[in-house]
Chains A and B, each alone.
Chain A
Amino acid sequence: MKIIYTDSLVIGAGLAGLRVAIACKQRGLDTLVLSLIPAKRSHSAAAQGGMQASLGNTVKGMGDNEDVHFQDTVKGSDWGCDQQVARMFAHCAPKAVRELAHWGVPWTRVTKGPREVVVNAERITLEEAEEAHGLINARDFGGTKKWRTCYTADGTGHSLLYAMDNKAISLDIPVHERVEALALIHDGGRCHGVVARCLITGELRAYIAKATTIATGGYGRIYSVSTNAVICEGIGQALALETGVAALGNMEAVQFHPTAIVPVGILTTEGCRGDGGLLRDKDGYRFMPDYEPEKKELASRDVVSRRMTEHMRKGKGVDSPYGPHLWLDITLLGREHIETNLREVKEICENFLGIDPAKDWIPVRPTQHYSMGGIRTTAQGQSPQLKGLFSVGEAACWDMHGFNRLGGNSLAETVVGGMIIGKYVADFCEDEPLVLDTALAQQFVDKVRAEIDQLLEGNGQEKAWDLKQEMQRIMMDYVGIFRNGPELDKAVTELQALLKRSRDLGVSCKKRHANPELVEALRVRRMLKVAITVASGAAARTESRGAHAREDYPQRNDRDWLSRTLATWPDAEALMPVLSYEKLDVMQMELPPGYRGYGADNAIHHPDTPLRLAEIERILEGLGPNASREQRQAALMPFELPAALMPANERLADRLAPACVLSPPVEPNLAGDDNS
């Protein structure tokens, strides 16, 4: 058995994993990263829009601060998030943006003076302040009160990932590429590392570490159509689940984006509709006004996705070999607009569809996009059940997104979460000894080896790709945008049948080294457990919250369901996880549950909400009218961060004379109002 030792082991070389590795290496710890692929190929590179941070440099960002970012995030989550974590996040986001500038990110900068922008389909002129010239710019994104999304042209994820990986290379952090983690080494209370397989040579290795951090991204590929990279298969979540101890959180919270192209599922930006693009059905009919007369194509992401699905279920979709789709029509915007403002959409249409979007309609349909659920962690990023196991980024349920994530908050979570949790991981490594139990490591290596032997040498008749396709279809059909009891139950039953069948998997390619079929077989068993966890969690949650929309339970039910789903899989032979629930305490919330600001306000209220609102009023009254926003915040809900991250964030407004502040400061809005 080959054993490799390190202090801090990170699984996944995207933005979140690399940021944790950098934090550990900077503290002088031995740090090692495992990755399926070269770090710069990670799915983080695909993020285009940007990352939210309340810098407040631009005229449309003036008055922004941590409070506003926090409120937008909590409302966006449909009150499903951990408000402590949302606070930690909002506080550190500006620091992460500024740090990345020091590491080489060429953030798009503010140019002083007037500029033309389109707001609500109207051309208006904004005047940027002289003092803001050259500072980091921000653009508008859905669900935010201020223009807060920092960006580099149309390739933010790319430029962040490159700067982050370059930083990691400069610190001499090794990345073991083309290596796949297949099991966590643990003793039921403490994680000691992983068993991993080299995808080139097939070698099995034990990596033993003080701290193991899972940063493997989301589980979008359990669905047949996803905007995710093909490596986002939920294996990180499965590793935790298979310990039988570590819990996953809110796995049923899965976000869909309305307009990905068919068949490959690549996104066309929301800007297409923002600029005036329309959705049409197989008859060329514009259907959205029938469903959402007020906001039409520009209703929120989850609403448009649901309406499109509803319309296709009525048989109004366009038939294709890849299933039904609808049309996105941007021809009315004109060639000049498309070739200047939607350059990327044009390139996608040309390269992947062979069409000219100035003349042709774009085939689109709602597509799986983001995994809000993941490995449940404390605010410090550690699994409450398995000491030494950390998780960060989309892989984790940290949990700042609750049941719906806002655009620009995912890229931000990777680097901000990595920045914060990296420090806690480093603390842990400094405080804890390395535990060397070679017998325990051997036991886990043997188990993985036996699984591989059985696949290569057994007589299994089932094919990995068949089971995977079945699973993806079931998830898409029954655990998609709209959910209901009978379909979810059906999904669980059918997935369980697949899990049973997966015990009879076999491979026809018998190589022990580079063997894509073996890789697929090892993954599909693990993915099936993740899929069942998503489906059974969705079946159990009899309410609608954020992206989790139950046709049979359309109300958000704070009274019974203001809770986080926890799932563990203690019996490896079982066909179901064990579900339990972690209540969210309204009495500890800075922002008690309220109206999000769109759709019908149909929530069933929590009995503590009025009590907490009264308490908040009392606390604020006690502070008097002259209390600063920081004092008010601290009195309502104190939060902790590593000392190095606690200092306040300076903003341009702090340097300008008070008279120059371009818009009044935003009052905390406790009831929760329109943020659409």
Chain B
Amino acid sequence: MTGRILSFDIFRYDPQDEGDSPKMARYELEETPGMTVFIALNRLRQEQDPSLQFDFVCRAGICGSCAMVINGMPTLACRTLTAKYPEGSFRLMPLPGFELIGDLSVNTGKFMRELAERLELWLHPKAGDHDIHRLEDPMDPQEAAKLYELERCVECGVCVSACATKQMRDTFVGAVGMMKIARFELDSRDSRSADDFYHVIGNQDGVFGCMTLLGCQDNCPKDLPHMQQIAYLRRKMASTLL
């Protein structure tokens, strides 16, 4: 079977090479059934250009490593089927808003760790005796289910790269930061109050900086309800002022 010839225009730049400057490079590849951008990029690297930098880990839409801008839209490359693009041409760019490692590879890990440290994105348990040998504390089953729904974020960075506020104000925590705050705010095991959260997101870097352009929600590969959570946190933050 002979497939279509796909064209890939790929952003190339090695920031560690002083003589290098950003450019686009074109590659062509014959399409095979079931081909994803993951398969295509690996083949390009193996067969045409071994220096091409990009990131994949799970290649199954689970880990969030491979977010990039495909034909103008930020998304996960591993689960992007080439067959869904009738024109057969692809323009691949690295996610904006993150430190560029090279070509399509950006340092989302560094960003997410710094965000977690800044916003203290971990459970702050209530004081009390937690004994791992004894029966666990009961939790409302619906609360547990709701927590899981908010916890499905894979830290891919798509929401950050799709956010105009973030592009204008580098200190903005983005939808990913607010979604995580919302997750801990909902958790009855967490000792922090709305007042505590107000100190970290009750400002222009947090809930009051969002311009409601919906880029985060429109592009989130996990379909997380970002706008609903940001609105919820806004009301919570506003109520702390009363």
B51 interfacial by beta-carbon distance below 8 Å: yes
Query: Within the complex, which residue of B36, B63, B132 is in contact with A98, where a contact is CB–CB below 8 Å?
Result: B132
A46 interfacial by beta-carbon distance below 8 Å: yes
For A636-663 the 0/1 string (1 means CB < 8 A from B) is 0000000000011111100100000000
B34 interfacial by beta-carbon distance below 8 Å: yes
Which residues of chain B are near A153, meaning CB under 8 Å? 145, 148
Interface-located stretch among A100-108, A472-480, A538-546, A610-618: A100-108
Question: Would you list which residues of chain B between 107 and 131 have a CB under 8 Å from chain A?
Answer: 107-110, 112-113, 116-117, 120-123, 125, 130
Contact check, B141 vs A354: say whether CB atoms are below 8 A apart: no
A657 CB, min distance to chain B CBs, angstroms: 15
Contact check, A166 vs B109: say whether CB atoms are below 8 A apart: no
Which residues of chain B are near A229, meaning CB under 8 Å? 57-59, 63
**Taking A45-B63, A155-B148, A231-B57 as contacts, is the C-beta distance between A166 and B116 under 8 angstroms?**
yes
B170 interfacial by beta-carbon distance below 8 Å: no
Contact check, B79 vs A351: say whether CB atoms are below 8 A apart: yes
For A6-38 the 0/1 string (1 means CB < 8 A from B) is 000000000000000000000000000000011
A456 interfacial by beta-carbon distance below 8 Å: no
B61 interfacial by beta-carbon distance below 8 Å: yes
Interface-located stretch among A116-124, A259-267, A494-502: A259-267
Interface residue range, chain A: 35 or more
Contact check, B39 vs A264: say whether CB atoms are below 8 A apart: yes
Which residues of chain B are near A354, meaning CB under 8 Å? 34, 81, 83-84
Taken together as a complex, chains A and B put the C-alpha atoms of A110 and B187 apart, in Å, by 17
Contact check, B138 vs A135: say whether CB atoms are below 8 A apart: yes
Question: Would you list which residues of chain B between 42 and 63 have a CB under 8 Å from chain A?
Answer: 45-46, 50-53, 55-63
A605 interfacial by beta-carbon distance below 8 Å: no
B105 CB, min distance to chain A CBs, angstroms: 8
Contact check, A200 vs B138: say whether CB atoms are below 8 A apart: no
Question: Would you list which residues of chain B between 12 and 52 have a CB under 8 Å from chain A?
Answer: 14, 16-17, 32-34, 36, 38-39, 45-46, 50-52
**Taking A262-B34, A354-B81 as contacts, is the C-beta distance between A43 and B58 under 8 angstroms?**
yes
Contact check, B135 vs A652: say whether CB atoms are below 8 A apart: yes
Taken together as a complex, chains A and B put the C-alpha atoms of A320 and B3 apart, in Å, by 13
**Taking A103-B123, A320-B33 as contacts, is the C-beta distance between A516 and B52 under 8 angstroms?**
yes
Query: Within the complex, which residue of B17, B113, B130 is in contact with A38, where a contact is CB–CB below 8 Å?
Result: B113
Known: A166-B121, A169-B117, A229-B59. 12 other contacts (CB 8 A): A38-B109, A45-B62, A135-B138, A152-B151, A158-B62, A200-B107, A321-B1, A347-B61, A352-B34, A507-B50, A650-B133, A651-B135
Residues of chain A touching chain B, judged by Cβ–Cβ distance below 8 Å, are 37-43, 45-46, 95-99, 101-104, 106-111, 133-137, 152-153, 155, 158-159, 162-163, 166-167, 169-170, 175, 177-178, 200-201, 229-231, 262-264, 266, 320-322, 347-348, 351-354, 363, 465, 507-509, 511, 513-517, 647-652, 655
Closest 7 CB pairs of A and B: A134-B138, A38-B109, A104-B123, A106-B147, A166-B122, A517-B50, A351-B79
